[in-house]
């Protein structure tokens, strides 16, 4: 069995059969209807570029070997600052994950261990982390991270702590932890609704 991803169509496939992605499942929680589609496309493209350069940093690549847009550098500096201050040790970087029972997929930004600034080393803990370049950190990030954690480790994912790191253009960052116990239940409900509608050939009105 193999998980594949069509980047152009942004679709996941398990053993050649399409499976829904985490962000698609969570789409009803995000209303961007009032945002100009061109603005959304530019924001998405910029976020993808930041993710890519941060991946290069985390895998030890020398950025001098790459033609990096100067507009990206403050965001990369913010990411480096977060990684240093939280003393991160990554186990997974940009890892595609799949839940074998619930049959959904996604791409987990980071999984590893970290320590909050000022905390002693024995407080190091396991966590999943999502990189954000958006101007806001939305409540839907909680269910998103919960879904990634369970897909990567269905048995122990619930014990993972969940963080979003919002990178900013001035080189700073905001790290927010998501602790709502209902996050995965919310994701599961949306997945169940999507599956039910598909089974009955119903297009949800949202």
- 3-state SS record for the chain: CCEEEECCCCEEEECCEEECEHHHHCHHHCCCCCCCHHHHHHHHHHHHHHHHHHHHHHCCCCHHHCCCCHHHHHHHHHHHHHHHHCCCEEEEEEEEEEECCCCEEEEEEEEEEECCCCCCHHHCEEEEEEEECCCCCCCCHHHHHHHHHHHHCCCCHHHCEEEEEEECCCCCEEEEECCCCCHHHHHHHHHHHHHHHHHCCCCCCC
pLDDT band at residue 97 using 50, 70 and 90 as cut-offs: very high
The answer to whether residue 205 is domain-embedded is no
CB atoms within 10 A of CB 47: 16
The answer to whether residue 155 is domain-embedded is yes
Domains identified in the chain, total number = 1
**Residue 1, pLDDT above cutoff 90:** no
Average pLDDT over residues 90-103: 97
The answer to whether residue 78 is domain-embedded is yes
**Residue 7, pLDDT above cutoff 80:** yes
List, for residues 186-195, the tens digit of each pLDDT value. Answer: 999 999 999 9
Average pLDDT over residues 134-162: 95
The answer to whether residue 204 is domain-embedded is no
The answer to whether residue 206 is domain-embedded is no
Alpha-carbon distances, residue 80 vs 42, 85, 190, 200 (angstroms): 24, 9, 35, 48
pLDDT band at residue 14 using 50, 70 and 90 as cut-offs: very high
Whole-model pTM over 0.85: yes
**Residue 121, pLDDT above cutoff 70:** yes
List, for residues 24-78, the tens digit of each pLDDT value. Answer: 999 999 876 667 778 778 888 999 999 999 999 999 999 988 999 999 999 999 9
- The CATH number assigned to the domain holding 156 equals 3.90.320
The pLDDT, as a whole number, for residue 37 is 78
The pLDDT, as a whole number, for residue 34 is 63
Q: How far apart are CA 136 and CA 126, in angstroms?
A: 25
**Residue 126, pLDDT above cutoff 90:** yes
The answer to whether residue 18 is domain-embedded is yes
Chain mean pLDDT for the chain? 94
The answer to whether residue 161 is domain-embedded is yes
List, for residues 153-176, the tens digit of each pLDDT value. Answer: 999 999 999 999 999 999 999 999
The answer to whether residue 12 is domain-embedded is yes
Q: State the DSSP H helix or E strand holding residue 146, giving kind and residue range, or none if neither.
A: helix 141-152
Percent of the chain residues topping a pLDDT of 70: 98
3-class secondary-structure state, position 196: helix
Q: How far apart are CA 183 and CA 103, in angstroms?
A: 18
Domain that holds residue 109: 3-199
Q: How far apart are CA 30 and CA 23, in angstroms?
A: 10
């Amino acid at each position: 069995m193999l998980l594949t991803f069509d980047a152009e169509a942004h679709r996941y496939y398990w053993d050649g059969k399409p499976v829904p992605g985490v962000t698609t499942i969570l789409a009803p929680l995000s209303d961007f209807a009032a945002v100009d589609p061109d603005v959304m496309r530019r924001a998405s493209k910029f976020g993808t570029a930041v993710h890519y350069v941060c991946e290069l940093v985390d895998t030890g690549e020398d950025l001098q070997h790459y033609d990096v847009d100067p507009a990206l550098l403050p965001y990369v500096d913010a990411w480096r600052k977060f990684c240093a201050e939280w003393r991160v040790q990554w186990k997974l970087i940009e890892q595609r994950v799949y839940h074998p029972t619930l049959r959904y997929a996604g791409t987990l930004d980071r999984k590893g261990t970290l320590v909050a600034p000022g905390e002693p080393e024995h407080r190091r803990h396991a966590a999943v982390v999502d990189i954000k370049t958006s101007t806001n950190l939305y409540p839907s990030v909680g269910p998103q991270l919960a879904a990634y954690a369970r897909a990567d480790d269905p048995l122990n994912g619930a014990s993972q702590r969940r963080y979003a790191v919002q990178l900013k253009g001035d080189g700073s960052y905001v790290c927010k932890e998501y602790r709502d116990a209902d996050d995965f239940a919310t994701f599961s409900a949306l997945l169940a609704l999507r599956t039910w509608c598909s089974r009955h050939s119903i297009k949800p009105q949202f």
